Structure 1
Amino acid sequence: MKRRDFIQLTGLGTGAILLPNHLFGQSISPEEMLQKVDVVQKKRLADAALNAAKSKGATYADVRIGRYLNQFIITREKQVQNITNTESYGVGIRVIASGTWGFAATSDVSEKGIAKAAEQAVAIAKANAKVQKEPVVLAPVKGVGEVSWKTPIKKNAFEIPIAEKVELMLRANARALEGGASFVNSQLFQINEQKYFASTDGSYIDQDVHRIWPNFGVTCVDRTSGKFRTRQALSAPRGMGYEYLDGDPKEKIAGPAGTGIFGYKNSYDMVEDATAAARQAKEKLTAKSVEAGKYTMVLDPDHLGLTIHESVGHPTELDRVLGYEANYAGTSFATLDKWKTKTFQYGSKLVNIFADKTQTGSLGAVAYDDEGVKTKRWDVIKDGVLVNYQAIRDQAAMIGEKESHGCCYADHWSSVQFQRMPNISLAPGKEKYSVDDMIKDVDKGIYIAGRGSFSIDQQRYNFQFGGTLFYEISKGKIVGPLEDVAYQANTQEFWNSCAKICDESDYRLFGSFFDGKGQPSQVSAVSHGSATTRFDGINVINTARKI
């Protein structure tokens, strides 16, 4: 991978701290990516690990055999800059011995190599036990025997010829250039995680996980002034196959009249979005600079998803609440005392936020997590009140739960699994209510679509968010584009200002492909669903004006 492409990739993931291990691996041909590892062989290898761990004194052991496939295509204007096909294959083994965790991993995928790694994991656990104050206590999980699950895709993206994908991307680039773009680059990320999990609880789980992310950036330059503006794609990464890019009919949802914005549900029109992006980037060059003050904010799902991620997703991770992430990413204002009262008003009564790793098409969708726990949906905020966190097997008892929530994940076979954010989503409104209905109810406001720069403190409380596109709302109508917009609030104040949510027909998924966490750092892919939502009395600043 070229240095320029590496830098470009690292800048694409919202919240990414650095690139995941599985972006790197052995280069292979597209044809080799379609080969599979026999499930009988994987079970035999898993048993070798489990038997070796038990023979050395482990009271619990699990093994993850992972084959991670990646294909990335990068273009700029009329050229293909890079095509990368990689494979990484290996085994991670986690054990409890003497009441303590131990972990080891190996790329030697043989019975002998795996048994050796299992013995090493037990030795590490016993060494760790010398400083362990309390033994690890796991929430019970009943073994499920031999089961399999696959992302319900219609078209395997890896089976689509690279030439066909490149043609689509270059066609999108061409449309942007025809529309007045000065520069355009596009990317297509495709990931396939072939994961086999086995444990001493009696589970042998084979899962085939697929994700895809089409993306681009359009830049328009005013040659006279030297001023330039950009517009990123309004796509969302999805847990789908190539049908996301060539689905028919296209499922699109119009934004407010006067914006020319489209949102996409289960299929995405890259060419259409690139065409609109060029037009909107040019509009931004002459857009009015916002006047600072209090506004009603109307937030599109492709924007609100990031706000949900940062102000609800991260602060309700139990390990963060307990201080385990303090050294790296901070703590959380949503402390245990607030949860225990069951009265802490995180948001208004309209705010119902749920976690769900079963959501079809989402990035986090799997049948079982990386501890062999069956995934599910649960409430995090109910009628505005904080009611639960995100917890895995060795955390559940800390909040009085009898079972794990099923949100344990490792980004690679060489990484130890730990608590990761499931899909965290805002439930849509229950009554029929469209985006245009919402705009009509706003006297002075701003409509925001797309992601932008943001800042949030280490307790996930005080924040500032920008966006991609901004439109002024006056007396119930969109009156034109705005620039230099960012809104400021604290998490509790913001969510308590939630005044209206559009209905299910407007509900869409936002996604973060590279969400960073942990030491050593890992990334995970997670979706956040919502419908367009209104927030009253939010402080807006002008980012171009000096204080």
Structure 2
Amino acid sequence: MKRRDFVGLSGLAAGALFLPAFPSLGGTSVDPSRLLEGIDPAVNKHMADAALNAAKTAGATYADVRIGRYLNQSIFTREKQVQNIASGESFGAGVRVLANGTWGFAATNTVTEAGLAKAAQLAVAIAKANAKVQKEKVQLAPVKGFGEVTWKTPIQQNSFEVPVAQKVELLLAANAKATDNGASFVNSSLFQINEQKYFASTDGSYIDQDVHRIWPTFSVTAIDRATGKFRTRDALSAPMGLGYEYLTPKAVDKIAGPAGTGLIGYRNSYDILEDAALAGKQAKQKLTAKSVTPGKYDLVLDPNHLGLTIHESVGHPTELDRVLGYEANYAGTSFATLEWKAKKIPFGSKLVNIVADKLQPGSLGAVGYDDEGVKTKRWDLIKEGMLVDYQKIRDQAHIVGQNESDGCCYADSWDAVQFQRMPNVSLQPGTAKMSVDEMVKNVDKGVYIAGRGSYSIDQQRYNFQFGGQVFYAIEKGKITEMIEDVAYQANTQEFWNSCSAICDESDYRLFGSFFDGKGQPSQVSAVSHGSATTRFNGVNVINTARKIG
């Protein structure tokens, strides 16, 4: 999956045309009963030691091994039909080494001591060949060995243990809720991921991790049969680092949207039936909603919408490899260069505090250790509106005068080399108590936006345009009516400097992506972005339905 599928898949806009042909999230088809199998860490340790010893014997000064079993299950439905159920498994090992100051990497699906030793020898040979053209030797920030440790996503119910029939029944019930409330068509799906990862290195770490993620989603379409006009509304769920308990709705996890919208925000559990019913009604409402008048508006942005804006305008431009120009695949480099940072130019208003975090419970990026054996952490990126740091890994830290990795190295498979990937990047909630309704009361002329929609951003992550799922006009402190055809345009500095109010932590929620693309060859990673509802003053809003000229 590529970056542009980030919104396309989350919206499932292609609906029936796309889903039946989408077999799984990768790997070889496997009987669902095998998804509950595991691998003995003691066996992994023997195989990893064979690779590490072979690498050192061949001349490596450093080596790490990742033995991975990647499992997934995907279920797709449409109205009253099941379109596809696919379970996949991918199993193998990757060996990364430093020899003559240069990286080498090799992977194998022959997961035996002999197979891993052979891969290690090949990795060293590749490193030595690469060293002939390497201009500077790799410098690794130090990492202490942790010995034998384990980490597991703190789930309550493994989604792979839930019978497929039960999950299908839930999706079909959601479809029925949508059609009963005005939808003409509906697609729904459920993605489940389990990464069983074992890491070992010559630093002395043997790390066994069991990572779980889940994503329920749907897209409903309402059609005016007389005119042929149609409108859609996608799920307001977020993919999460949780188990099947995410689909057991709890009242305590529900957050009411502003009065007059009927919207509900979800925190650590999700009511797909409730959301599908509302989606059917709202898709039908959108058929008769008034088209927005272009102009300057104060925007009140729901967390399920704002997460995508954070991802594109803050997450990617603070990746150090993009900043340095080492990475430009999937939408370019970054305006926020080291020189730009040194000028102390405000990134946003003083209300803007954005953190990177690999520890956040329930998030997609939460792990105990990254894919080069670094213990994960939380750190500041934007503090009181100023850019204070970037995202970096072991061989990047010295470039910015630091001696510690941020623990954000990741590979999406055993056969892919690990590199710098975005951690969870989140806007911190306001410190003063403020509800969404209280925020709306202070808006004279504005637009409330919920849900993620289409977007565009330039190659330096600076000039952008974002849409959404549902839009409501705000006039003199009140939600007045649903409107349509809304998108806003700004540049990153202008937008974040217009931030004027942030609701408190009681409104804080996570947005996420299963399929954030980066690299060449391309890889995907899962990442969350948290925020509370936030206000931005005087932002340019355009009408996406109007023709130019």
TM, length-normalised to structure 2: 0.96
Q: 1:21 to 1:200 in 2, by over 3 A?
A: farther
Q: How far, CA to CA, are the matches of 1:8 and 1:395 in structure 2?
A: 29
SS at match of 1:453: strand
Q: 1:295 to 1:149 in 2, by over 3 A?
A: same
Give the 4+ runs in structure 1 shifted more than 3 A: 7-11, 18-22, 247-250
- Kept in 2: contact 1:338–1:386 (CA 8 A): no
Q: 1:314 to 1:20 in 2, by over 3 A?
A: farther
Q: 1:285 aligns with which of 284, 287, 295?
A: 287
**1:122-177 per-position Cα deviation (integer Å, ceiling 9, x unaligned):** 00000000100000000000000000000000000000011111111000000111
Q: How far, CA to CA, are the matches of 2:93 and 2:337 in structure 1?
A: 36
Q: How far, CA to CA, are the matches of 1:515 and 1:290 in structure 2?
A: 31
Task: State the partner residue of 1:436.
Answer: 437
Q: How far, CA to CA, are the matches of 1:139 and 1:21 in structure 2?
A: 41
Q: How far, CA to CA, are the matches of 1:487 and 1:144 in structure 2?
A: 48
Q: How far, CA to CA, are the matches of 1:247 and 1:454 in structure 2?
A: 30
Task: State the partner residue of 1:139.
Answer: 141
| Identity score, percent | 73
Q: How far, CA to CA, are the matches of 2:118 and 2:131 in structure 1?
A: 20
Q: 1:86 aligns with which of 61, 85, 88?
A: 88
Q: What stretches of structure 2 of length at least 5 have no aligned partner?
A: 13-17
Alignment of 1:294-373 (within 5 A): 294-326=296-328, 328-341=330-343, 343-373=344-374
Task: State the partner residue of 1:152.
Answer: 154
Q: Does 2:454 match 1:453?
A: yes
- Kept in 2: contact 1:66–1:89 (CA 8 A): yes
Alignment of 1:395-406 (within 5 A): 395-406=396-407
Q: How far, CA to CA, are the matches of 2:106 and 2:456 in structure 1?
A: 36
SS at match of 1:175: helix
Q: How far, CA to CA, are the matches of 1:94 and 1:420 in structure 2?
A: 17
SS at match of 2:32: coil
Alignment of 1:98-247 (within 5 A): 98-247=100-249
TM-aligned CA deviation for residue 206 of structure 1: 0.2
SS at match of 1:235: coil
Q: How far, CA to CA, are the matches of 1:9 and 1:498 in structure 2?
A: 25
- Kept in 2: contact 1:68–1:194 (CA 8 A): yes
SS at match of 1:451: strand
- Kept in 2: contact 1:93–1:103 (CA 8 A): yes
Q: How far, CA to CA, are the matches of 2:60 and 2:315 in structure 1?
A: 34
Q: How far, CA to CA, are the matches of 2:22 and 2:224 in structure 1?
A: 37
Q: What is the identity, as a one-letter code, of the residue corresponding to 2:9?
A: L
- Kept in 1: contact 2:346–2:493 (CA 8 A): yes
SS at match of 2:335: coil
Task: State the partner residue of 2:524.
Answer: 523
- Kept in 1: contact 2:330–2:517 (CA 8 A): no
TM-aligned CA deviation for residue 14 of structure 1: 8.1
Q: 1:41 to 1:189 in 2, by over 3 A?
A: same
Task: State the partner residue of 2:264.
Answer: 262
Q: How far, CA to CA, are the matches of 2:122 and 2:64 in structure 1?
A: 14
Q: How far, CA to CA, are the matches of 1:323 and 1:74 in structure 2?
A: 40
**1:291-342 per-position Cα deviation (integer Å, ceiling 9, x unaligned):** 000000000000000000000000000000010123553110001012234x
Q: How far, CA to CA, are the matches of 1:367 and 1:22 in structure 2?
A: 27
SS at match of 2:148: strand
Further displaced range: 527-536 or 330-339: 330-339
Q: What stretches of structure 1 of length at least 5 have no aligned partner?
A: 1-6
- Kept in 1: contact 2:55–2:124 (CA 8 A): yes
- Kept in 2: contact 1:74–1:188 (CA 8 A): yes
**1:441-500 per-position Cα deviation (integer Å, ceiling 9, x unaligned):** 000000000000000000000000000000000000000001000000000000000000
Q: 2:28 aligns with which of 26, 29, 47?
A: 26
TM-aligned CA deviation for residue 11 of structure 1: 3.6
**1:384-432 per-position Cα deviation (integer Å, ceiling 9, x unaligned):** 0000000000000111111000000000000000000000000000010
Q: What is the identity, as a one-letter code, of the residue corresponding to 2:87?
A: N
Task: State the partner residue of 1:3.
Answer: none
